[in-house]
């Protein structure tokens, strides 16, 4: 398999909207960061940061799902995040 080039870049597209999976992962990281034993460690901050990023990406996936469902096809393609 060849790698991407300027003339033929790889475009990845998925028919599965990953909102649910991203949101579940964010919830999992939040639950771990909220444990009392994580309080004195810097890992708590790292886990919270990861959870926040996953919440933002999950929201983007949800917006994309809504735009595909409610906007006309050409307009929906322009509005995609």
Looking at residue 70, what is its pLDDT? 81
Query: One digit per residue, pLDDT tens: the chain, 81 residues?
Result: 566 676 776 666 666 778 999 999 999 999 999 999 998 899 999 999 999 999 999 999 898 888 877 876 665 555 555
Looking at residue 78, what is its pLDDT? 57
6-38: b or e for each residue (b if 16 or more CB lie within 10 Å)? eeeeeeeeeeebbbeebbebbeebbebbeeeeb
What Cα–Cα distance (Å) separates residue 53 from each residue in 20, 74, 75, 77, 81? 14, 29, 27, 24, 15
d(CA 21, CA 19): 6
The pTM score is: 0.67
**Token digits of residue 14:** 């998925």
């Amino acid at each position: 398999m060849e790698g991407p080039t300027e003339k033929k870049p790889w475009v990845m597209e998925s028919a599965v909207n990953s909102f649910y999976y991203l949101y579940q992962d964010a919830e999992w990281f939040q639950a771990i960061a909220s444990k009392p034993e994580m309080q004195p460690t810097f890992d708590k901050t790292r886990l919270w940061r990861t959870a926040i990023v996953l919440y933002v990406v999950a929201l983007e996936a949800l917006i994309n799902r809504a735009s595909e469902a409610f906007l006309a096809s050409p307009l929906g393609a322009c509005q995609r995040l």
